[in-house]
Copies of this chain bind each other. A is one copy, B any other.
Amino acid sequence: MQIGMMGLGRMGANMVRRLMRDGHQCVVYDINAASVAALVKDGAIGAASMEEFVGKLAKPRGAWLMLPAAITGKIADQVAALMEPGDIIIDGGNSYYHDAVDQAAELAAKGISYVDVGTSGGVWGLERGYCLMIGGPDEAVRHLDPIFATLAPGADAGANPAKDAGTAPFGYLHCGPSGAGHFVKMVHNGIEYGVMAAYAEGMNILKSANAGKRQRTADAETSPLENPQYYQFDIDLAQVAEVWRHGSVIGSWLLDLTAGALKADSALTQFGGRVSDSGEGRWTLKAAIDTGVPAPVLSSALFDRFSSQGESEFSDKLLSAMRYAFGGHVEKPKTGS
């Protein structure tokens, strides 16, 4: 079938390629004409403006937006203004689900359906397929089923899902009304932060397994290592990550990636340790707080990222100031990395 794709960055362009590879017709638009041209060369129908983009779509139109969260809402409004009742806007970005709930209500009044699709798979989605978490009105979601079926991984090699198992075993799921897709994707990313942090902390502990061999400052501001004989191991982190991939309880795709990264450079020298966060982890916690659900692991993972961004500095200074005030403790200098 035909679908329009607007926003041809890494994710959007790859999705177009996966769709065309499966025989779908794609009308594409991006503010960057070169991105359009590249896909036109591969068989897509290009558009030079938003108006042309909407104009080239067959009715009922389906316009998939793959844009930064910050501008999605505004662009969706502009696209909607060019549409007619029965048309569908799909937001596949990492937008806040609140916006989807609000925008869907507005567009519904004009007869336009708003479908929010949380999309996981990263740079690997072109080959592996994308895991799709979908929110929106039944009819619109049903209409788009061939698109979802192509973007999703499909049944894994050898899998043979039960007839009544629905679409989840194929990697896409209609989670509920508008907003539900982004809600589920939001929590997905919140979990992702926690899982990533669990591996990272564990690896850091393994790395310290030789602490008993290291020279240790002996001053009143340094806690001594009581039993150095138990910290004499030089663990090969890359090998450990690799072995865990085979038969252990903690095997996962993130572990696969971890093993690959450590194999390439076990010291990770190309990274400085400033870990970005991009919204979903924050929103997940706000949802937990709103609904009174304890999320100590997910919040610890998020707050560690904030710290890595330098945001603990003032509170840490204040702790040193208190220690100086009550005990005369003089702060030790920060050690470089």
Contacts and interface: CB of A to CB of B under 8 A. Distances in A.
Interface string A232-243: 111110011011
A308 B297 contact: no
5 A-B pairs with the lowest CB-CB distances in the bound complex, closest first: A194-B198, A252-B252, A171-B246, A273-B316, A131-B248
A271 B333 CA distance: 9
A308 B300 contact: no
A58 interface: no
A272 B334 CA distance: 7
Contact of A272 (B171, B278, B320): B320
Nearest to A316: B273
Given A125-B247, A279-B224, A312 B316 contact: no
Contacts of A121: 247-249
A68 interface: yes
Contacts of A277: 223
- Chain B CB count within 10 A is highest, among A231, A258, A274, A321, for A321
Contacts of A293: 201, 204-205, 208, 306, 311, 315
Interface string A101-132: 10000000000000000001111110011111
Number of copies: 4
A328 B278 CA distance: 14
A243 B168 contact: yes
Contacts of A298: 198, 201-202
Interface string A248-262: 111111110110111
Contacts of A268: 314, 317-318, 320-321
21 contacts: A69-B224, A131-B247, A132-B243, A173-B239, A175-B239, A176-B233, A198-B301, A204-B294, A205-B293, A223-B279, A258-B321, A271-B317, A271-B331, A273-B312, A274-B332, A276-B331, A294-B311, A297-B300, A297-B304, A299-B300, A309-B335
Interface string A18-33: 0000000000000000
Nearest to A254: B322
B331 A247 contact: no
